[in-house]
Amino acid sequence: MPVFYFLLQEQSVHNFLQMTSADNDFSLSGIKISDISPYVNWKPQRWSGHKNLPTGKTLTFFYSPRRTSRVRNVSVAVNYEMYDGIPLMNKWVEVTNKGQSSLVVNRVVSEKLALAEEESAVVGSPEKMLKPHYLYVESNYAFNNAMNYHLSDQTTHWKRDYDYTSQVNYNLDTPCILEIYPYTDPCIRLEEGHTFRSPQSFQLLFDGYDRERNGLAVRRMYRTVAPWVTENPIFMHLVSRSDDQVYTAIDQCAATGYEALILSFGSHINIEDTSPGNVVKMKRMADYAHEKNILIGCYSLFSSRTIGPDTDVIDPLTGKPGGAFFGNAPCLGSEWGLKYIENLKYMFTETGFDIFENDGPYPGDVCASVSHPGHEGLHDSQWRQMEMQKSFYRWCNENGIYVNAPDWYFLDGTNKIALGYRETNFSLSRDRQRILNRQNIYDGTWLKTPSMGWGFVPLTVYQGGGPEAVLEPLSEHLDDYEQLMMQYYGAGIQACYRGPRLYDTDETRELVQRVVKWYRKYRDILNSDIIHLRRPDGNDWDGIMHVNPRLGEKALAMLYNPLNKDITRVVRFPVYYTACHDRLSVRTGEGKPRRYRVDRDYNVTVTVTIPANSYTWLVMEK
């Protein structure tokens, strides 16, 4: 099969620019400059920390086959989006079939950059050598169930440049060529009039090596290009056994200031059941919740189950069901899988449910079936399933449905993913869960905004464990309940409070009301960027600090004491990102503020006393 190039050929000598073209190349046929057009038509309907869609310009180059080319009736558009206020570019390529017969798109390399090497190493393999630190690349083709992008990436390729003969590496192994394309070629059959769109490649420039500063840049990228990730409703995870429990939980949410109820896995509601009776039942629940100003959602398991041999993913090695990430899984391109998406759209439209927690599909399962209507065979099965899944998430976003998904689909409309956790840790004792939860918060917020990750609080038994692991009866564990809530709300992170109720006594209700009221008071700053102060280790204080120069509260620090005695510590707070570089007013809790001078390293030094096995917070204002 011939290879067609859409760009000029590389020069033969690499110490100056001299480009040539070949017969099969495409030639430039037009240029267009336009305003950025959102690829997800998000309409903010809930509280969010950032409500603006991105602004900037799109530069599009159009290419057509040359007269000498062997290919005809194909057009190519290379798109560059450049955003206001951030050193970020988004690039993708579109291939349109203008002929009267189909063609197959095997691979589109949407980006190829020759970059300055990160180090001068005489020997060393590309896998072990450092990659250029100054460029962060993220595409919307990512999956791996890792809860972070780095391990989910499926498009970034660092390659050698054997034509770069003046490099230091003796074997010319320096990883200095960046190419963007999926690891598994899409192999898509493109019918007449249809367009193939490559993954979007977001390229963000860093200005140094500082982990916090680079993390702040990535978090700003998400707020810019995917502002829906800043939606952050206060939700409960109900394990329901009856309709009455759902109505009671809605009432408790309304009474305590919660904003949403999600019927967790193991609940009695089945969103896949499209029978008239189930539609009526779920719509009645949604109507009641909405009367109380409560969002309502539900869970659906896609992967980790088997539907049948004609439906499940077919292992290419055995020709039989199996071989999926979790062993067995249905194929989204099967007749059942296509109906699954159709049923979900129908149910959300008919019932008014407005939150969807989707467990799967999981990481890019390929399928060797040749009878599934959603894909031709093994060659296009991954791409087709991914496109259907992402299209569904975009539909949810555009129809006001909040999506908690298990993988990295933020750039296609999902709102939240897990912080990262080990499920068996929730069977440990409550005092250990405190430390582990704060470690998960600390480690899971370097590249996520607070609203992008969720945590977990087992009100009842989960993954084993005895009475020392759970909070029920709630009224008997108020200190632990308060501490776990404050850890999450103090980080701006919603946790899955999974159980049958939010409170069991008036005293418990008053505690939940007090914590939620506190969170709502400081909601804007608590959902702002996190600066990491000291990682929890159980031996001394730990803490984080939120910063936002655009608010009245420039910073809010949360400090924790895991010890059995009160401690007093001198803490240096880095306040550079508050934009207050001279003086700041600092108060502990709701106490009286005191003025502090900012030193030349942009720190404020404060002596703080933290109660035993408890917490405190400090607010900084101009």
- The per-residue pLDDT for range 111-155, each reduced to its tens digit, is 999 999 999 999 999 999 999 999 999 999 999 888 899 999 999
Please, which pLDDT band fits residue 465 given cuts at 50, 70 and 90? confident
Using CA atoms in the order 249, 255, 258, 261, what is the torsion angle rounded to 10 degrees? 20
**Which residues are CB-neighbours of 514 under 8 A, at least 6 positions away?**
none
Q: What is the pLDDT of residue 285?
A: 98
pLDDT tens per residue across span 482-509:
999 999 999 999 999 999 999 999 999 9
Identify whether the C-beta of residue 449 lies closer than 8 Å to the C-beta of residue 416. Answer: no
Q: pLDDT (tens digit, 9 = 90+) per residue, 216-230? A: 999 999 999 999 999
Query: Mean pLDDT over all residues of the chain?
Result: 94
- pLDDT of residue 4 exceeding 50, the answer is no
Amino acid at 131: K
Q: What is the pLDDT of residue 20?
A: 62
Two structure tokens written together for 308 = 């049948």
> 62-76, 322-336, 397-411: lowest mean pLDDT where?
62-76
* pLDDT confidence bin for 23, thresholds 50/70/90: low
Tens of pLDDT along 591-611? Answer: 999 999 999 999 999 999 999
Is the per-residue pLDDT at 369 higher than 90?
A: yes
pLDDT at 619: 98
Please say if the pLDDT value at position 519 is more than 90.
yes
- Whether the pLDDT of residue 439 is over 90: the answer is yes
The whole-number pLDDT of residue 350 equals 98
Note the pLDDT of residue 363: 73
Distance CA 103, CA 98 (A): 10
All domains of the chain in start order, with CATH:
26-225 (no CATH), 528-621 (2.60.40.1180)
Dist CA 60 CA 94 (whole Å): 10
Tokens of 285: 């629940």
Question: Would you tell me the crossing angle of helices 478-490 and 430-443 to the nearest 10 degrees?
Answer: 0
Predicted pLDDT at 251:
98
Q: How confident is the model at residue 477 (pLDDT cuts 50, 70, 90)?
A: very high
Comparing CA positions, the residue from 337, 325, 333, 334 lying closest to residue 300 is 337
Cα–Cα–Cα angle for 601, 571, 446, nearest 5°? Answer: 75
pLDDT band at 21 (very low <50, low <70, confident <90, very high): low
Region 72-86: mean pLDDT is 95
pLDDT at position 5? 47
Q: Is the pLDDT of residue 319 over 50?
A: yes
Indicate whether 569 pLDDT > 60.
yes
What pLDDT, on a 0 to 100 scale, did the predictor assign at position 14? 55
Q: What is the per-residue pLDDT for 190?
A: 95
Tens-digit pLDDT profile for residues 221-277: 999 999 999 999 999 999 999 999 999 999 999 999 999 999 998 899 999 999 999
CA distances from 296 to 283, 348, 587 (A): 10, 11, 38
* pLDDT at position 17: 54
7: pLDDT strictly greater than 50: no
Q: Is the pTM of this model over 0.75?
A: yes
